[in-house]
Amino acid sequence: MLRPDLLIVGAGPAGMSAAIVAARAGLKVVVVDEQPTPGGQIWRGIEANAGTSRGRALGEQYCSGLATVRTFRECGAVYWPSTRVWQVESTLGTYVTGPGGTRVVAPRLVLIATGAQERPAPFRGWTLPGVMTVGAAQILLKNPGSVPSEPVWIAGCGPLALLYAHQLIRMGGVVAGFLDTRPSTPLRETLQLAGRAALRSSRELAKGASWYAELYCRAGRYVPDVVDLQALGTDQLEGVRYRTAAGRVEEIRTSLLLVHEGVLPELHTVRSLGCEIQWDAGQAAYRPVLNEWGECSHPDILIAGDAAGIGGAVAAVHRGRLSALRILQRLGKVAAEPEMTEENCRAALAHALVLRPFLDRVFRPREQVFAPDDDTIVCRCEELRARDLCAALSGSVGSNQLKAFTRAGMGPCQGRQCGLTVAALIAAAEGRHMSEVQPFRVRPPLKPLRLCDLAGLADESRSS
C-alpha cells in the first residue's frame, strides 16, 4: 500500500498550490483528481486551450492558470488524473478508482481541496431536458469548446453567471436574454460595501461592472428583479415563465435555459468524516469549522480552497499554500522558497478576500431558492416534490429521518442535489434556524462506484 506524507484531493488552484509547496519541501505528495488534466473548475483544460483563440476568449484570469499548472506538473508530486476518491476512513485510509483500477492509499495527512458545487436551486420544471446549470455549460465551453448554436437564456445570480455570459459573447455565442434573479440590495449598504472594497480592489469591481454593462448592451433582453421561475414544456424545455418583484409575469420561448444561483463548498468528503460544519449566514451555506490554517475537527485533515468557504481562485491559491505551510511545520520541514512565508500568504489571502463581503451581500440568493413551492421537485433522483417532503414533516424529524420516511437523498446523487433544500424545508417547518438543522448524514461511497471496481479490491487484498 502506498503511504505518502500527504494526499491532496483536488487539483484546482488550492490543491495544486499546496502540492507545489509541499513537494518542493521534500514531502511525498499524491494528488488525486477526477478530471483528466489539472486546473480544477476555473482552469479546466488550460493546457490545451492556452495560446488558442478559445483560451483568449475565456479571459486573462483563465490563462493565468497555465503557470500554476506547469509548476505543478514539475513539482515532484505524484498526480493521478481521472481518478476518483470515493472513501476516506477516519484513519485516513483512502480509496480511489482510476485508469489503473482501485487502490487504497494510507497517507499521514489529507488535504481536501474539492472546491465548490453549484447551489441546487429547485424551481418548477428544473428537471426538464433543456434546463442546465451555468457551471455545466461553462465546462462545455472549456472542453470541446462547443458554443451553443442557438441563442441561450440565462437565469441567475452570482459572478459565475456574469462571467459565463461574458465568455460566451466573446466566443461568438448569443445571449438571448438574462433573467437576473439577484435580489436588489439596499443602495446604502451596497455603496458602503463597495466603497470599502473599491479602496483595495477597484480593478475587480470595474471588471464586474463591465460585465454587467456588456450584458445590458449585448443580451437580447435584460430583466432585473426576477423572483420566481418556471420551466415550461412536457418532455423538453419549451419556454420559461418568470415573475418579477413587482409582480409582473411573463413568458418567453426557448429550448435552452441556463440557471445559476451561486456556489457552495463541496463538503461531501468532509461531512462523511464527521468533521464539524457550521452555517455561514453571509454565504447562505454550510462551511467546515476551521482554524486559520485550514485544520478542521479531525486532527489529520486540512481543508483549503472553496471547500473551506467560498473565496474564489486567488484566495484558494493562498489558502492552499497556508495549509501546506502548516503541514510542513507539522512534519518538520521548511518551504523551499524563501518568500513562501506565513506572513506573505496571509497578506495575499486577506487581499484576495477584500471583495468577498461585497460579493456575498450583493449576490445573496433570493428567498425562493430555499422555499420551493409545493409542486417543485426537490429530490430529482426519487422524484419527490416539496409537498411530499412537507407531508412527512410532522413532529420533529431531522434530515436523516425524513430520508428514511421518503427516500429523499437515497439516489445516485447521494443527496448533493436535495440536501440543502431538505434542511431548509425542515428549518422552515419547525421555525428553526439553519444552524440548528443538520443536513443528511453522508454515506460512502462519496462518488458512485461500479460494482466491478469494488470487486477488484478483493483481488488486490488477496494478492497483497
Partner 1 sequence: MRAGQATTAVIGGGLHGLACALALVQRGQDVVLFERSWIGRRASSATAAGVRTLWRDPAEISLSLEALERWYRMDALVGDDCGFRAGGQIKVAESHAEMEALAARFAQMRELGFHHEELIDARELRRLAPMISEHCVGGLIARRDGAADPHRTIAAFRRAVEGHGAVIREGIAVMALEPAVGGWRVVTDAGSWTVRHVVNAAGAWGAQVCRMVGEVIQFGYKASMVFVTERVEQAFRPVFSTVGRSLSFKQSSQGTLVVGGGIQGGGDLEKGLTQVDFRALAKGAAAAQELFPAIRNVQIVRAWTGLEGKTPDLLPVIGPSARASGVFHIFGFSGHGFELVPLVGEIVADCITYGRSRYDIGSFDVARLLT
At 159, list the grid cell: 459572478
Task: Report the nearest approach of partner 1 to the CB of residue 464 (Å).
Answer: 10
452 sits near partner 1 (criterion: CB under 8 A):
yes
Task: Report the nearest approach of partner 1 to the CB of residue 54 (Å).
Answer: 33
| Residue 451 CB neighbour total at 10 angstroms | 7
Task: Report the nearest approach of partner 1 to the CB of residue 85 (Å).
Answer: 12
Interacting residue with partner 1 among 390, 407, 429, 438 (CB under 8 A): 407
Separation of alpha carbons 49 and 173, rounded Å: 18
98 sits near partner 1 (criterion: CB under 8 A):
no
Stretch that binds partner 1, among 53-61, 108-116, 324-332, 408-416 (CB under 8 A): 408-416
CA torsion sign for 158, 161, 440, 395 is positive
Task: Report the nearest approach of partner 1 to the CB of residue 426 (Å).
Answer: 13
Q: Considering CB under 8 A, how many residues would be counted as binding partner 1?
A: 31
Separation of alpha carbons 83 and 368, rounded Å: 37
Residue 205's identity, in one-letter code, is L
Closer Cβ to partner 1, 51 or 93, answer by number: 93
In degrees, to the nearest 5, what angle opens at C-alpha 344 toward C-alphas 340 and 346?
Answer: 115
Task: Report the nearest approach of partner 1 to the CB of residue 460 (Å).
Answer: 8
394 sits near partner 1 (criterion: CB under 8 A):
no
Task: Report the nearest approach of partner 1 to the CB of residue 115 (Å).
Answer: 22
Task: Report the nearest approach of partner 1 to the CB of residue 1 (Å).
Answer: 11
- Nearest-CA neighbor of 8 among 82, 83, 111? 111
89 sits near partner 1 (criterion: CB under 8 A):
yes
92 sits near partner 1 (criterion: CB under 8 A):
no
Interacting residue with partner 1 among 212, 222, 279, 405 (CB under 8 A): 405
Residue 108 main-chain phi, psi, to 5 deg = -80, -35
Cβ-based burial of 292 (10 A; exposed 0-12, middle 13-18, buried ≥19) = exposed
Stretch that binds partner 1, among 107-115, 174-182, 351-359, 440-448 (CB under 8 A): 440-448
At 247, list the grid cell: 409582480
At 23, list the grid cell: 513537494
In degrees, to the nearest 5, what angle opens at C-alpha 120 toward C-alphas 115 and 122?
Answer: 175
In the complex, which residues of this chain contact partner 1 (CB under 8 A)? Answer: 87, 89-90, 95, 104, 397-398, 400-401, 404-405, 407, 410-412, 414, 443-445, 448-452, 454-459, 461
